[in-house]
Chains A and B, each alone.
Chain A
Amino acid sequence: MKRLVLLGFVIAAVIAASPVKAVEPNEILEDPKLEQRARALSKDLRCVVCQNQSIDDSNASLARDLRVVVRERLQAGDTDKQIIDFVVARYGEFVLLNPRVNARTYLLWGGPALVLIFGILGLVFWFRRRGKIANDGLSPEEEKRLAELLGQTGTEGSDK
């Protein structure tokens, strides 16, 4: 079912004349701290020619270019935020796998909390209404009906 990932592979294979794999040994930075930051950043950046793959996982040449760019910026001393801003300025917010909170994504980021709150409110409301029905006691007609029913089940034996 990962056909779309596969489609990404196919596209990647077409674009890259000689396929390269995710993170090549020659890309790795010597400073392990910087390399760790590079990996963390790459995991949240989307490979723009693939289907839902991060540049860290992708073997497309475009992903490789972006990985190298991230590492160059890191070596130049940029902060994580500066690098993300730099990449977004070049490729747009589409490249962020972790979308920023702004007018376009309020509903996305607020949605889960909204659903949960509505669910809880609905439950509370439902429980309170049930409780009220249970505590209100019975109307005279209901009492009568109950007596009838009790009489009925009484003859059939209790159903426990």
Chain B
Amino acid sequence: MGTTYKCCSETDKWVGICDPEDCITDGKTVWISACQCTTEDPGPGGPGDPDPIYPGPSCNEQQNLIDPLKPRWLVIPQGEYYSTSVIPMKYIAGTNTGVKEISVQLRRYGTPHLEICRCSTKSCTGECTVEIVNREQCPNWDDICNIIISHPDLMPVMKANTGPNQNLFIPWHLRVDVIPKWGSTCGADAKYEVKDCDSSCPTPRCTVKEQDCGTGFTLQNTGPYCLAHKATCKQVNGCGKEIDCNEAQCYGPEKNTNPQPPTTPKLKIDGYTYTLSTNENNWTRVRKPLPGKPEDAVKFSVTPQTPPSGTYRNPLFDFTAENMGVGNEWYDEWGNCVGVAGEDFCNHNRQSNTTDFHGEHAGHKSPVEILKEGAAGIIATRYHTQNICNDDRKHSGYMHSRYQVDRLPVVESVEITGNDTTLKGCKATAKFTGLDANNPLTITVTGSDPDGVNDINGLSVWLVKRGVGDLSNDIDEYRGMGSGLTTTNPNEIGMHFEFLERNQAHLYKANNENSANRLAGWGRDADNSQSLGTNKVQSSQGLLIEAATATHRTEGNKKIVTVTLQFPKQESQLIMGEYDVYVGFSDIFTKSKRSAEDGGGKYLDSQNVKNSGKNWSFDFVKPKIENTKLQTLEQKVQKLSWKNTDTGSGPMNTVINAYNNDSIGTEILRTIPSAGNDDLDRIKLQEVPGRTSIGNMPVSSGWKHIPDNVEVTSMTVNTLDLAAGNLRFYITLYDKACNYKHTGEEGEPPPEQNYDRWLSTKGGIFYSQGRVNYKTKDIADFNLGTELLSTGGTSIGTVRQLADDNKNPAIAKNIIDTNQQNRTSLFEELDRKLKNSMSKDLEKITNPLACNNLKGCYFSSENDINIGGTYSGKILIYSEKDITITGELKATSNNDAMFIFSKGNIVVNDGRVSNSTDRIDAFLMAKGRITIAQDADANKNHDQVLIVGGLTAFGIDGGSPAFILERNLGAENPLRPALILNYHPKYTKFAELFFGVDTSVHKREVGFKPL
């Protein structure tokens, strides 16, 4: 539906002519020739007059099939004109019934139309012209259906038709009637008004000036995006009215200007931001990026000097990098966006003020490749913005920022040392640390820094177990450092020593014991952030390093760091096997704090940690000695056997010690295996030392076993003349790390054999001028004595206490015995009496073993006498010198007795071993010494000796003691006394035959009576 008209009346009926002003539209003022009520917008062409008879095709029907959309008025007079105006018109008259005639009429308001032209399809009256529109627009008719009628200027016509009393300056109506060959006459109307003054602008027209655009606008064509209003200039027209007589397009001003170059160039590498210098004489040193990181790990950014808002569009950045490498290796012309080797880049027109530090061309180098140690470069950055009004851009100048990549410190040498010889004298196998050997371990690292030794601020040391540990995931990483708690992987023991003043350092430990086996960070195990923490390194399973300390010093351009690792002295399997040593210095870049802008915190990157090529082995597990046995093969032969076990580095040395607290200095001899050198096989026993001295090397009171590193082995020893004390064997096994274990270490008794030689007496009085120290064994009823045990000394032993008290002796110490006090005169008295007897009652015999004289016989010599055998009778064997009992001396009957009296010494030695008991039925008396001698070499078995009678050694003019027991049963000593002395009272009786009676008297004072 088109515009509705409110016509002259409310009933919408045609009411005739009315004032067009009575036609009120809903916004459009459309005057038609007659006030017609229509619901349709009559359009420029108007509805035309209705044919009252038969309308024929209506105007609308006539215009059917004719391009309805085409505007009918091509030039329509409308608006206001002045008398000087030219008022053309041009109209397409169309009908689908064929145009017959066209009438152009002018009409004054309120007057009938004045026809000014009538045209046929060929010509026109008046000044109108016609033009046939292409016939194709009327396809189905041969007639002309569209014809253009034009008039060049209606003003003269109007003037011509305006009398003197008529007003030209009125609204005029123009009508074009199209008379079809058939149908209604249709047409269109136009309305315009003529003013009596020239309301047009005078000439020349005015020129719109800049200020006409108003504040903030300009006539300058700043661009299509700044189109603003049109500014006009005013002039007074012919009507005296100031009217706009000219106009010009105004534009908004172009605010965009060349921006300032950006500032604050920053290179962010691995989370560290460095503000680069823009001073051409100053190159900012930056860290070397971590290898293996993605290309966006390094970013370059700038801070634009942003123009005021609203003055620009689309700010962009141009980053141009000229990376020159090390020593200008890549130096080329500026702006070569590829560079010599793909190192350069031109990241232009970037919206972001940050760019990755690499190009995007094929074959570009990564940031890590560009920012290698010592490399330098310049990054030129500019900032540009787009105009507000057009698409042109304005650029800032370039800011040149300079960088130089830090050179990492270099490790020049690594030495690993320790004291490979323990306090026990064990020398560890090279490059082994045990509980004592090479513990503590010293690692001396020497290095330098191409950027200056003062850059170096720490040292990382890693112990990595070969074949198990793997630092590949941790080296090229940076991790935070703090005071927190740590647990360290025993297979990857990481330590970082941060240098402090005064050559000191404190320890950070790797916190890398987790399921991912990754380094999580470095901690100090400190109570608080201020504390330096502990110098222990520990894992969740226990302590790894008791104390890890370091000192550092600078010598010239060298940094020398001495790391001391004290491992625990307790057994542990946590650190075991061969470890590679990784070291690396940190400098002020690889270990440093991040700024608050970067998030703060202190970090250490380990890219400089490298395998030093050194390795070291650890073993903190002691070896074991098992199945220790001591076996007596013969009296003097012991066999010691044992088994070596070591789960760590393996057995290395075995030391066998033999001690005897009671036989210090006594020799024993290793026989199997023999070193072939008596000096090595024969040892002098010493007393059991403190535990820390057992097994020491060089070996004292013992041997270094041969071979010393086999698993199951044994040793045979001949105890020679050892006759006292407990022979204790200690086996000490050292592994290659000089960890050791010796028998008896945990309180278990060492294999031992007692060698106490002892004697037993039965009956009679036992007396010794000095102390007595025989270790009587609990064998049968043997005891040191059974009656009186006496000594002039302070001790006598060992005396058993048997269950039958009747068998237990009385003991008297520190006593006086006149037989000892007067032994010289006693012996002389006895000798005198013997001689007297020999000269009177005794029968002299030549066979010392046979006497038939009831009063007794004697065998005497001024020389030494050897005697042995079975005898009968009562016989005195008398020698001015020594007497040797060379064989058993057995009485034939209990009524037989033999007294052996020597003015020298008596030796009991039959010279042969029968592995039984040598029996001597006799009473021995020697002026000097009585010796129960060995009947074989010290290293052979000896026989036990039984003397039934008595033994008296006066010790006159001889050595001390007067009695010597040399017979030694070796390992059988604990089982049998070497000498048994049984008293027989017949000797007390029969002595009278040879020695007469005791005629000594004792004078005693009786009574004392003074006045």
Partners in one complex: no
Question: Could you tell me which A residues sit within 8 Å of B by CB distance?
Answer: none
